[in-house]
Each structure stands twice: as C-alpha cells, then as structure tokens.
Structure 1
Amino acid sequence: MTDRYTFLGELASNILQQETVSPKDVLIILPNKRAKRVLQKQIAQRISIPQFSPQILSVNEFFESLSPIKSTSKEELLLHLYSIFITFDAFKEESFQTFLTWAPTFLSDINEIDLQLADASLIYSNLSEIKELETTFLKGDLSDFQNKYLHFYVQLGDLYEKFISYLLENKIGYEGLIYRNVAEQIIKAGQIEEQFIAPYKAYKRFIFAGFHALSPSEMSILEFFYHKFHGEFIFDIDRFYDEKYAPFVKTLQNKLRIPDIHLKEDFKNIPKEIFITDVTGNMSQIYHAIDLIHHIEKVEGTLDETALVFADESLIVPFVHAYDCTKANLTMGYPIQNTNAYQLLQIILDLTKNSFRFAKIQQVDHKIYYHKDVVLFFQNPLVTQAIFGGNSEGYSAVNEIVANNQIFIPQKDVSPIIPNLPPQGVEIVHLLIHFFEDLAQKVEKQTPEFFGIQLIIKGLNQTLTVLDHIQCSSIVLDFNSIEYFIYEKVNALTIPFIGDFDKGLQVCGLLETRTLDYKNIIFLSINEGVLPKGKGQPSMIMYDVKNHFKLPTSTYIDSIFAYHFFRLMQRASLVHILYDNDSSSTLAEKSRFINQLEFEVEHKKLTQNISIVKKSISTIPQIKTLENNNIVIHKDQDIIEKLHELKYSASNLTTYIRCPLAFYLTYIERLEQIESVDENIENRVVGTIIHEILQ
C-alpha cells in the first residue's frame, strides 16, 4: 500500500520525515478510529528500525479526555430525563410509555443544540410561540388537550435547564454536552482545567488531519489547541469539489486564521474509469457487484485495494449470503435481527404483550395466549432443536392446538417452557436472561446459534445495568417500557466478522471511508433518497427555526455526505457506481450526486483523463444450479396398484397435467395440506345457526 499515494500515507511520511521532532512527540487527531488504525499501519510500513509511535486519537477520544463529564448511554439519559420531567406539576401522572413517544427526539435535538453552542432557552421560547400561533390563530376556545399541548412546549426550555443542571452535578452527559462544557470553559476563561490539559503538554507537534465539517463547539476547542500549542491542520480537499463542499473548511480557515490551505488536484490528475450502471433490483446489484469483485481479483490478483461501499446498509445481509466473505473485512457486522435467537426473543415479547391485551379484552385475571404466537414459539428452530432435541414433542403441541381449533389458549394449558413474564418491573429482564442462559447450555458451543444466544444475553445484561439504578426509586416501568430498553440495547449489537482492515476486500458504509483511499471502488444503491437521504432525523424543532439558529438541517447533512462521496473517488482509478432502476414498488431515481459528477467532469473539461461509461443491466445474472434438477419417481408395483385403485376425476387429472409431482404426492402418497386453526366460522356452522334461528 506504500507504493500508491494516499492521504494517510502522505501524513505518515510527513511525520517520519520531520527531523526536528521525533514521532513519539507528535499528537495526531483524526475523525474516526478506523483512520487511526490505518495510519498506524502506514507508519509501521515506512520504518526500518523499531521506534515509538506517535500518539493517535480519534476526535471523540480527544474531546472526552478534556472534560470531567463522562459519556453515558441514551437509555440511562432517558431515565434521568423522566425523573426530572415528572417533577413538573402538570406532568406528574405522565406514564413512561407516553414519555417515550417524544423524549428520544428531545435528546437528539438538545445534542445538536449543544454541539452548535446555540441558546436552548431562546430556541424553545421561539418554538412554543410558533406552536401557540399555529394552535390559536383564528380559533375559538381551546380544548383541554390543546392547552396541555401548548403548556408542554412552554415547559421544554425549563426542562432543558433542569436536566442539564442535573447532569453537570452528576458529571454525566452526552456528546454535545461534553463538547459544550469544554468549549464554554475556553470561551469564558480562555483555558481548560489543568488536570485535563496536562497530559498533552509534553507533545511538541499537534496535527489535526482529515477534518471537514466542524460544529462551533468543536471549532472552539480546536482553535484553542491550534493557537496555544501551534497546531497544524492538514485537510484533504480537491479542486474538483472545492467550490461546493469546501465552505466548511474555509469557515474554519477564517476563524482560526489559517494562512493557507493546499488544494489538491488528484481528481483531475489521476486517470479514472467510472462506470455508472443502472440495475433492476437490489439482488441484481449484489450479483453484479460480486461479478465485478471477481473480475478485479482476476486482473490484479488481490483485493487489497478494493472497497465495496454500501449506501443502503440493509443489503449487507443478502451480500453475506451471496459472497464468500472469509477473506473480506466487513466493518458493519452481521445484524443480530437475522438470527434465530433474536427472533425467539421477539416472539416471547410479542406473545407476552398480546397475552396481557387479550386478558384485558376478555376481562379475566390470567394470561390468554394467542394461538399464532404459541405456534411461532414452538416452530422456532432453537426451540425445536435445543429444547425438544428435534423430537416430535413441539410438533405435537402445535398439532393439538390445530386439532382442537384453539384460537385463545389459557395460561394453564400452555407448556411451562414458555417464560412466564410479569406485566412490569425489572424481573422481566431477569427471567429472560435465565431462559436464554438455559437455552445456551443446550446448544452446541462455537456455532452461529450459540453466538446469537450469547449476544442476546449480553444485550439483556446491558439492559439490566441501565435499569438497576431505578430499583431504589419510585419509578415502576411497565412491560412496554422494559421492552423498549431491551430492543434499544439488543438492536445495537451485531455479530462481528473476522477480517483484516488492511487486507482483502473492504466492505463498509460511506462514513467509514473518511480519510481512507482505495484504488478500486464499487458503490451500491446510489439512489436519490438513499444517498443523499434528502431528509433529516426526526426533530421537534421545525426546519425554519433550525435554519435561523444555524442548527444542522437535512441540506447540511446532504452536503457532508456529498463531500465524502467525491473525496473517496479523488484518488481512485476504477469506480463502479450502481443504482437501482426498479420503480415497481417505489420511485427509483439515480442520485443527484451522479448527475453532478457527470456535469462537473464535462463542465471542467476533464473527459480526457476521466472516462464515464453508462451501462444498464435489466436481468439477474445466471445463478449456478444443480446439473440435473429433475425429480424422477420410478413406478414400482406398489405405485401401479395405487394407480389402478384411484378413482379418476377432472380435478385430479388437471392436477396431473399441471404438476405430475403434486399429483403423486396428493393422490398416491396421500399427503395432506398442513392444517391450521380456523378463526372464521365454517359455512356449515353458519347454516346450522341460521336454521336454528329460523325455526
């Protein structure tokens, strides 16, 4: 990798070629942890004798080290916020479940407010006034609900102040609060507390590399280190997109009074072949990408310089099933939602939640299970294989439900292996942990099923850690609230793929490519609405208010993704951009980034060095199948006798013409369709009832 010019390779050479400062006296701040690992590798490749490495930190690690406030999880923050919220007289009776409908969005909003060093009280004051205008203008008396709605928005500013005071007092917080705390120390006192800045005084050279868009809080902190420690900024900006996506950097240049920013011309100078391909359907994209990967490997003999970038990260699952990933590095991990263990957890939670609902509807004091939930539980592969050992006991339980046509099943008639979860409290999580730990004992170790169960147990234990601190409080969480915390923790987990971040095919999302360079790049799903998304995260603050107070909007987010998209291509030689053209379910339109790429190459007269080829693929590539997939059943004496005994009809002869195998299985082997519980009244029963009524 040292032969080809890359941004981090150039940075590594810069550090090692500086004769007056030893590498061990250099501190480097990078945008993410992956860049940190790659830079360490680049430095190691360029030295011939052992020596101390420079200190390399991600920007999050660096900023958090400067504050006494420790980052805590979103789930813990929600519990703290709820304890503050119910101290307001008007909201004392507010349930936690109702609170969850807006609180996660509120946390996201205040994180952005703090990152931007914005005035929260002024923002929420404006917001409440807008809501009052919308609700009362040209209208008569307000309902109680409308008055409560307006009062809620009036209280948001006070809620923010009380919440922040509580977090600062307990020295816990979120990213925005940590950054704001450090930035405001600098703004007010011109200094950071000695205990936090002392570890960095020993370094003789500060380098901030690869940054693009910075919030005001980040800018204030970096400005302090830039001037106090004579820091250096090394940007990765190309003239190709500098006019549209470099204003962020120019704002930083003006604020910090950076004398000069070197603009590169790699996009123009490095010859490129860019193939823009519209493909019908997501699976066709995956198969075509795999063909491209095989072709690159055949031509170059390696995939060390190749990246497969997913704009739509949900496609990672079908890709893993379609491609041999043993020599690939997948940074995203395999989603836990696709494991049998997760699906079993989901079944248990749905089954229990529905049992409470049906018991309430039927006004009984015991759980009533819905037959579909029970059947799903018994048919889960972990239950059939691990608990019943593959024998017929689980199927017998299902068959009994079907035979008796049981739509609702009382708790006393249900197998005790189904966890009996209470309607509220932390005991729900304890019982689930106990169930999955027992299940893990019955599953073969070092198998995918075992790892899936272990991840579920890990997520449940993390949930328990979050909920532990409410044990001594008066807050009692109902089943839905506990379920929310379980899913928040478990859904965040993935099954990691073992891979080398510096060897083989690199499979990642776009943001994971920050500061990295590849010779060959394959983009998937570069569609409008995917990249860019074109819409921001859910927010309680409307667009105009955000725009006025300079909070990030969807336009701002889109421009950041545009920078990373074009930056990744600037040093590549071969680029394949795939997008879906299948509009059968939703409108599939190629991304505006593709249109801009085509326009800029033409407008800047770069066609001599950059060739753009458009292709279209409308069919799925041929998939390898068995050489002989015909099913042949030879007629023996037994089959011939059954054919002689069979009474032929138009129905069975039609079946034979349509599918001889179906004819054989249905009329010779007498296989019947699987029966299911019938929730509708049969016609003959309806007839009997009508007959009785008429009599």
Structure 2
Amino acid sequence: MNAVVIPAGQKLIDEVLNHIEGNKRDYSPSLVIFPGRRPAHFLRKALALRIGSSFIPPELLSMDEFIDSICDEFSPHRQLETIDAVAILYDIHRKCLVPLGGKGFMTPDSFFSLGLKIYRDIEELHIEGINHLMVRGVQTLITEGLPEGTRERLQSLSYFYERFYSELAALGLYSRSMRYQIAAAHIGESRINKYEKTIFAGFFALTQAEKILFRKLFPSEKVVFVFQDGAGLKEKLKDLGISYKGRGEEAGRPDVHFYSSPDTHGQILALGKILETHVEAGDPLDDGSVIVLPASETLFPLLRQGLSELPEDGYNVSLGYPLQRTPIFGFLNNLMDMLNSMDGERVYIPDYLKFVLHPYTKNIYYKGNSETTRILFHAVEEELLKQKAKIFVTLAEIEGKESLFRDVIRKHPGNGDVVTEEGLRAHLKAIHRNTIGRFSSFENVADFARKCMDLLIYILNESTARLHPLFYPFAESFVASLDLLMVSLMKDTAFTDRSSYFIFLRRYVMTCRTPFAGTPLKGLQVLGFLETRNLKFDKVFVLDANEDILPDTTKEETLLPFKARQILALPTYMDRDRLAAYYFESLLAGAKEVHLFYVSNDRAEPSRFVEKLLWERQKRDKEARAIDYIKTVQYQVRLINRVPDPISKTDGMVAFLRDYHYNATALNQYLKCPAQFYYARVLGLRAKDEITGDIGRDDLGSFVHNILRRYFINKRGRPLKEADLTFGEMDVLVESAFENEYGKDPSGAIYLLKRQMKRRMSEILKNYYIPLLRKNELTILEVEESIEARVDGFNLKGRLDSVEKRGEKTCIVDYKTGSNKDRLKIAFGKLDPDVRDTWPEAIGSLQLPFYMMLYSEKYPVRIEDLDGIFLLLGRCLINEEIELRIFDSPPEEESLKMLRSIILNLLSEIVDSRAPFVSAGGKRETCIYCDFQYICGTQWITK
C-alpha cells in the first residue's frame, strides 16, 4: 500500500506533483482525485509553472466526478435530482396509512422541507451501508426516555428508507449514495486500471462506501494515497488500517492577528485598511493570498467596500451564493407578495407599488428608453397616493386614469412625438400583461416554472436589468433551477391555491445556489470555507470567525436523534466540528500571515477556533489578558446634539417671500420654527406619502370637513331649526363620502372607521348642535369660505370652515379632529408683545386671530364684533365643552390689536433679509414630529 502522510504545513499540491507520472509533456497516464474541484485548478497552474510550456495535464477529478465516471461505466442510469427525490418521497408519504406529522404535510409545498430532511437522512444511511432494518431496530435500544414523536419519526424514516430505493430502481434513477455503492462494488474492474498512476489526495473524513473503495485499492502499486497531517488524522488512518508514523516536521507558526468588530462592516473596514497597506508597500496580493468567507452573505459588502480599491482582475471569487439572496429573487418575491395579497381582481396598492417600483420593473424600455417607464410608475404612485386610505384597486382602474398619462407627458423631457396617452396606456397594459397577467393561474408546477422563466426572459430582453452587475450569472442559475423543475417528477403536480405555488418556489429556491466559478486563477483569492480544502496560502484573511458560523454545525438538519446517530455510527455534530477544526488548522498551517476577524456584540461571540488560538498564545507568552492580542475596530461617534446653523436669505428668497400668499398654517409654522417654514414653503419639500391602508390625521380632517360642508351648505342664510338637523341625512352623507373614496364595499379598518364616523357625526348633531340651537339662534352664514386680502403689502388667504351668526355675534368656527387644547390656545399671561422669544411658547395657534383679521378686512365688520371658536371633534365626549375659544370673555380691543401686531410683525420678519431662518433650537415639542429632522440634524430628539 502506497500511503503518504505529509506535514500539516506542507503544500499538498507540491506532493501530488512528485507522484504524477508522464512522458515529457504528456501527463495523461496519471489520474488525480481530490475531495473537491478547486485544487485541480491550482495543480494545473503549478504544473504549468514547473514545465514552462504547453502540456497535456493528468486527468483531474473531484471525488463525486470520479464516482460518476465509474458508475457510468457499469450502470449508466440517470442521476437523481434533489427535487425528484422529494417528489418520490411525497408520493410514498401520501400512500402511507399513518403519514408522518398526521395531516400537516399532505400538500407538496408543506412537505417539501420535511422531504429534504428525510432525503438527507436516508442518503446518509445508505452511503454508510446501514439498511432500514437497522434503523427500525435502533428504536428498541433507546426506547427508554424516547419521546413519542421521536419514535414515530424513526418508524417513518424506516418506512421511507425501505420503499425509496426500490422506487428509484423501478424508475431507473440513481441517487448519489447508490452511485457510491456501485462504484465501491466495481472499482476493481473499472477504468482506473488503465492509468499508470492514480493519486487520491487530501482526504480526511470518509463515508463507509469510500472506505470500502479505498481498501480495495490499497493492494495496487499503481495507486497512491496522500494525506495531510492534522488533528484527528491518526484515528481516521487507523480506521483504514494505515499505520500513523507521526506528525512529521512541524511547520513554523504563522503570525496571527485578531480583530474584533461590532458588526460586519467593521470587519470589512479593517480588512480594507490591511489590504491597502499591503498594496502601498508593494506586497503582492496574488493567488498566494486568500480571503475566506464562512458566511456567504458577507460577499457583497466585501466586494463593494473591502475590495473596492483593487482592480476587477485583481481578485477571484469562488463560492456558492444563495439564490434567495439575489435581486432576482427579490423581484420575484415582490411579485408573489403582490399576487398573494390580491382581493379578486383588485391589487393591494402597497404591494403593487413595491413591485412596480422595483428597479427591474420600472426600468422596462419604452421605445428604447427606460426613463419614460420610471416617470410613469412614479406618476402612478402619486396618483394612487391621492387617496391614501384606499388600499385596493383594479389594474383596469389604473390603466384608465387619463390624468395619469397627461401627468407623465407633462413631466417627460421629450415632446408629444415621443410619448402619447395611447402609447403610454398600451405600454402600461403590456407591462401588467407580461408580469402580473402571466401569473393569473397555473396548470401545474411545470407551467408555473415556465411562466417564471418567461418573466425573467422578458425582464432580460425588455429592461435595463441586463446592465446590472451579476444579473447574467444570477439569471442563468435561476433559469437552470426553473428548467430543472420543468422536467422533474414534480412537474405535473397541481396545487389548488395559487399561493401554494409561491410557497413551493420559495422553499425550492432556498436549496439553490449560484456558483462563482473562480477561474482562471489570478490575483487575490476569495473563497468559501470548504473551497480552501487542500490548499495553502501565505496570507490568510478569515472573516466572520464567529461561533455558529465557524464551525457552522450547531443546527441539526436531521430526523435522527443524537443517540440514534451514535448507535448507527453516523457522524454527529461533534464529528462535523472535528472536521471543521481539521480544515481550519490545515488552512493556517504553513501560512506566514493570518488575520482573523470576528463580530463581538450581545448576539455574537468569537469562534472556539479563535478562542483556542488566543489561549495558546496566552500560554506561550504567559499572558493573563487575551484582550492585549485583539485589535478592536471602533467607530468614531460624536454624540453632539447639534443645533442647525441659521439660513441666510438671498435676494431671490426675499422677492419670492414678498409675493407669497400666506395662510394661517404657514404663519404658525414660521412661529414655531422658521427653519421648518424654509424647508416647507421656500424649498417646497415635504415628506413622501405612503399608502398604509389607514386614514391619516390630515386625511381624516379633510374627510370630516367635507362631510360637514356638504351637510350645512344647503342650510345657509336662515336661522336653523331643530328639524333641519336630521340624523338620516348625515348617515347618507357619510355613506356617500366613503363610497366615493373607498368603493361600495370597504373592508377591514375602513369599514370599522365608517361605522365609527357615522356614530361620531350623529353625536355632533345630537350633543352639540341641537343643544346649541335650544340656547341661541344659529344661522350658518358661510361654509368653507375662501377669503383673500392684501394687508400692509402682504398677500393673505384663508379657508374658513364655518361662519356662523350666534345671537348678535359673528363667530368663525374651525373644526379640529384632535383633542389637545394646549396646542391651540393662547396664554395671554405669558405673552409679551415686546419680547419676541415669548411668542412661540405663549401662542398655540394664530389661526383664529388670523381668520378674524382677514374676515374684518373683507367685510364691513369690526374685529371686536367677531369671535373665534375651535371645535375639538376628537374629544371623547361630545358636548358644549368641545368648544375652545381664544378669549375666555368677549375679546378686548387691546388684545386684538396685540395679536394683529404680532401677525404683521411675523410677516415683516419673514421678508426681512437681515433675519435668517433659524431652527427651533431642539425644542422637543416642535422637532419631534417635524418631517425635516434628518435635514436639520435634530433626529437625536425622540419621544
């Protein structure tokens, strides 16, 4: 037997080169088998450097490829795909008299995840040579203390195991474990005999089938086994009957550095600095350097930040990336969410907007230009936001909105020859038809997969998606996965509910990965943890060296309990931990420079491998503190509650402000915070509206105002009688208003709000207006009256909710749907007209004084003969106490003059070029609800 054990620090590739046989530049008489595929690339490169010219390489195979080649010699059956295995297991499950989990897994989508676990378990059992009778027999050995559910799982696993492989044989399919068993049985008569030299290199943990195969090859002089020394190898070789002759020459210890970071981006930042230092020092980051990613989700932060300073050909990526984390899946997921939330033909507007505003959708070409579609869908968003509480709409309604297409034409940078209403409508219909319309129904899984594929091809051909980084490799992987579904044994499965197809696809995609091939070899290597097997690097950078990631062995994806795995001699999580430790130590052995990065916070802790290295360093240096070896990545955070700088007024601003038409809301805004006035009135900024399905405070106010306007508008100009205030008329108005806004059949929160609104509006009539009529004569003079006037050179405007004659007094009434008096009243005791700083604190609102001034300017009514009243309709109890008057008693002439003077002084201050716009200074009650906190820098103010 030719077995070689090389030291942990020696390069496996170099040792393999010493055993390859060939004639001059022809090495085809040799066969080399590695556990994985990646070492073959490094072997070819090493051989090319050694020869210095063209050559015929040896045949290089991974173990799986080698097994497949032998199996195809003797039994060329079609390989079983995982999706086919789940389909077969599901069929067995349905026929079982007592199905696993009762009725909980009787549909293909609900069974899928369970089927994956069953398939993994029985494949592991089969490749280890354990038959179903042994699985069934385990139960009798561990019955004591075994939960009933666990006993059922063991029985079911035995049932599946017994029937699964006979089903495969009948279908002419071979699973991976079956191919390994066939290869082990026929290895002696296989094509391996035609090679002058066969080398198995870098193996450590072997399945029972692999052990049988190796033992059959041990007597051959033409076969060489090369093992790399490391922790646990002695026991592995002993199991094979190979004598262990010691660890050989110890490699020098690498220079290991430890970095603790509060998050992933801190790791990337620290790594980027180190790489930058190497580049500046002229130290090459070639294929002798590796960045190891145990967690694939760190790949894109690394590419966008850590490697941004390197040229694209300066690094090489090789790992499998989950398809579920790609933008393509995000696009499909948005579409599936929208389809799931549909109510018949109506789409749920928040989900619809989320889908059409995805970059792939809103960048579909219109006459070769994607800008038009972006304008179109943002115009759709604005159109739908006009009725924010309306949460469902049909596609036909959207396509039929003429104002929408006129708005797009108005905003479009081109002219009418480029975009027309007819063309835009046809374009919108085409997008709906080719995306949402494709998914109205499905015949079966194959039809569903085909429609998903057609959608991706449509996006590829008709949008800018192809220009997005990595779209092609992600799309190819998706198409390959969908193509597999279309020909799988699951292809004819039909679900009763459309949503089941989506659940099924999500679970299927979770099993799929897109490969970053990592060839040709050049530059800095970026590899997954398993891709580093059998390779040596001078510089090693390991990210995410955290427990539960390195090693990632805590989660048991198995139905077999730990005790059963021990009895059956199956690998447990402890064996996988030892395997990960072997690979990790092998990676570090022989390296000159190692950098280990890990996240340390309340949810993450360093890997046990890191802790072991730190402890060894402490013992060697006799140092009690591990912290001295760790470089902590920290962010410089300046916790300063910054108050924004004043904003100076330009001549253009002043000219704009002199012509501006001021209303009470703008004046109140300036009074509370001039900077807020500047952002909202001068710059025209506002918070982006969102459709939430709820009626917001502003929308509710508009709704109530509209109902009261419609109720009282035909009752103007005459004294009201109690008979005029009928509850039935109010109910009809509320019903009509809701139907206009939300359709005939509002549901959920809107339906409940309608009932609440009817009750509240009836209470306003019953408990406020009718008692008011019994005390005073009441005449409605105007409803929702718009008034404009020019006062002292300022353009003023207002919209008065109700102007009423109450006895001899003319009252200006303003409806408020809130209940807070403090935000509206004026504290005259705190108000000093000569001290500007007292105004914001003392004045809750200038709205009613502003309206009274405006009204007296337009009509021949002295301001002293007017009164102002807020009606707080949001109070719990509706009665006469909902009235909030700005004056506790009839207004005094001096008080009215003072308020008029304050209003005019504020207006003069606004147009004064010497008075900058200043912030409220971080006042909690002003800043906490401000839309401009992040612009202003006062986001540190919270509730």
Q: TM-score range by the shorter chain?
A: 0.7 to 0.9
Structure 1 residue 530, shift from structure 2 partner: 1.8
Deviations 1:559-602 (A, max 9, x none): 1111111111110111111111222xx1x222221222234456
The answer for the alignment partner of 2:635 in structure 1 is 620
Amino acid at match of 1:666: A
Pick which of 117-126 and 682-691 moved more.
682-691
Structure 1 residue 209, shift from structure 2 partner: 1.1
The answer for the alignment partner of 1:691 in structure 2 is 760
The answer for the alignment partner of 1:401 in structure 2 is 384
Change (3 A) 1:543 1:602: same
The answer for the alignment partner of 2:797 in structure 1 is none
The answer for the alignment partner of 1:82 in structure 2 is 90
SS of equivalent to 1:386: coil
SS of equivalent to 1:555: helix
* Whole-Å separation in 1 of the counterparts to 2:509 and 2:472: 11
Unaligned runs of 5+ in 2: 1-8, 400-428, 638-643, 705-752, 767-943
* Whole-Å separation in 1 of the counterparts to 2:519 and 2:646: 47
Deviations 1:458-489 (A, max 9, x none): 52453244233558967657545533554466
The answer to whether residue 645 in structure 2 is matched with residue 667 in structure 1 is no
Change (3 A) 1:131 1:465: farther
The answer to whether residue 81 in structure 2 is matched with residue 73 in structure 1 is yes
The answer for the alignment partner of 1:58 in structure 2 is 62
Change (3 A) 1:23 1:520: same
Q: Which aligned pairs between 1:518-557 and structure 2 lie closer than 5 A?
A: 518-557=537-576
* Whole-Å separation in 1 of the counterparts to 2:491 and 2:518: 44
Could you tell me whether the CA contact under 8 Å between 1:436 and 1:457 is conserved in 2?
no
Amino acid at match of 1:689: K
Structure 1 residue 650, shift from structure 2 partner: 6.4
Could you tell me whether the CA contact under 8 Å between 1:459 and 1:486 is conserved in 2?
no
The answer for the alignment partner of 1:143 in structure 2 is none
The answer for the alignment partner of 1:140 in structure 2 is none
Pick which of 250-259 and 293-302 moved more.
250-259
Could you tell me whether the CA contact under 8 Å between 1:274 and 1:576 is conserved in 2?
yes
Amino acid at match of 2:356: F
SS of equivalent to 2:61: strand
Could you tell me whether the CA contact under 8 Å between 2:89 and 2:164 is conserved in 1?
yes
Deviations 1:184-221 (A, max 9, x none): x3xxxxx5484xx0x21111222211111112221111
Q: TM-score, normalised by structure 1?
A: 0.81
What is the aligned counterpart of 1:39 among 36, 43, 47?
Answer: 43
* Whole-Å separation in 2 of the counterparts to 1:221 and 1:693: 87
Amino acid at match of 1:121: L
* Whole-Å separation in 1 of the counterparts to 2:493 and 2:234: 52
The answer for the alignment partner of 1:378 in structure 2 is 356
What is the aligned counterpart of 2:247 among 260, 263, 275?
Answer: 263
Q: Which aligned pairs between 1:87-126 and structure 2 lie closer than 5 A?
A: 87-90=95-98, 94-124=106-136, 126=138
The answer for the alignment partner of 1:595 in structure 2 is 611
Higher RCO (C-alpha under 8 Å, 6+ residues apart): 1
* Whole-Å separation in 2 of the counterparts to 1:206 and 1:262: 25
Q: Which aligned pairs between 1:288-299 and structure 2 lie closer than 5 A?
A: 288-299=270-281
Change (3 A) 1:691 1:476: closer
Change (3 A) 1:72 1:631: farther
Amino acid at match of 2:363: Q
Q: Which aligned pairs between 1:143-154 and structure 2 lie closer than 5 A?
A: 154=155
Q: CA RMSD in A?
A: 3.8
Structure 1 residue 519, shift from structure 2 partner: 0.7
**Higher-Rg member (1/2):** 2
Could you tell me whether the CA contact under 8 Å between 2:538 and 2:592 is conserved in 1?
yes
Amino acid at match of 1:167: L
Could you tell me whether the CA contact under 8 Å between 1:520 and 1:572 is conserved in 2?
yes
The answer to whether residue 217 in structure 2 is matched with residue 225 in structure 1 is yes
* Whole-Å separation in 2 of the counterparts to 1:213 and 1:89: 39
* Whole-Å separation in 2 of the counterparts to 1:128 and 1:480: 42
The answer for the alignment partner of 1:560 in structure 2 is 579
Structure 1 residue 33, shift from structure 2 partner: 0.7
Deviations 1:505-534 (A, max 9, x none): 111122111111111111112122221235
* Whole-Å separation in 2 of the counterparts to 1:21 and 1:40: 13
Q: Which aligned pairs between 1:150-549 and structure 2 lie closer than 5 A?
A: 154-183=155-184, 185=185, 191-192=186-187, 194=189, 197=190, 199-228=191-220, 231-237=223-229, 242=230, 245-246=231-232, 249-261=233-245, 263-267=247-251, 270-304=252-286, 305-322=288-305, 323-324=307-308, 326=312, 327-332=314-319, 337=324, 340-355=327-342, 359=343, 366-387=344-365, 389-391=370-372, 392-404=375-387, 405-410=389-394, 412-413=396-397, 416=429, 417=432, 418-420=435-437, 421-424=439-442, 425=444, 426-444=446-464, 447-448=467-468, 452=471, 455-456=474-475, 459-460=478-479, 462-470=481-489, 479-484=498-503, 486-487=505-506, 502-549=521-568
Could you tell me whether the CA contact under 8 Å between 2:88 and 2:489 is conserved in 1?
no
Structure 1 residue 96, shift from structure 2 partner: 1.5
SS of equivalent to 2:591: coil
SS of equivalent to 2:237: helix
Amino acid at match of 2:164: F
SS of equivalent to 1:506: strand
* Whole-Å separation in 1 of the counterparts to 2:646 and 2:249: 65
* Whole-Å separation in 1 of the counterparts to 2:588 and 2:151: 49
SS of equivalent to 2:371: coil
Pick which of 277-286 and 224-233 moved more.
224-233
Could you tell me whether the CA contact under 8 Å between 1:127 and 1:541 is conserved in 2?
no
SS of equivalent to 1:522: strand
Q: Which aligned pairs between 1:628-647 and structure 2 lie closer than 5 A?
A: 635-644=649-658, 645=660
Structure 1 residue 48, shift from structure 2 partner: 4.5
Amino acid at match of 1:385: N
Could you tell me whether the CA contact under 8 Å between 2:547 and 2:606 is conserved in 1?
yes
Could you tell me whether the CA contact under 8 Å between 1:423 and 1:478 is conserved in 2?
no
Structure 1 residue 35, shift from structure 2 partner: 0.5
SS of equivalent to 1:575: strand
Could you tell me whether the CA contact under 8 Å between 1:347 and 1:376 is conserved in 2?
yes
Deviations 1:384-411 (A, max 9, x none): 2215632332123222322233212346
Amino acid at match of 2:70: L
Unaligned runs of 5+ in 1: 137-145, 186-190, 360-365, 623-629
SS of equivalent to 1:117: coil
SS of equivalent to 1:100: helix
* Whole-Å separation in 2 of the counterparts to 1:34 and 1:216: 24
Structure 1 residue 167, shift from structure 2 partner: 1.2
Could you tell me whether the CA contact under 8 Å between 1:27 and 1:56 is conserved in 2?
yes
Amino acid at match of 1:84: I
SS of equivalent to 1:547: helix
Q: TM-score, normalised by structure 2?
A: 0.61
Amino acid at match of 2:578: S
Deviations 1:304-351 (A, max 9, x none): 121111222211111111122511111126665565433221111121
Change (3 A) 1:349 1:123: same
Change (3 A) 1:553 1:341: same
SS of equivalent to 1:86: helix
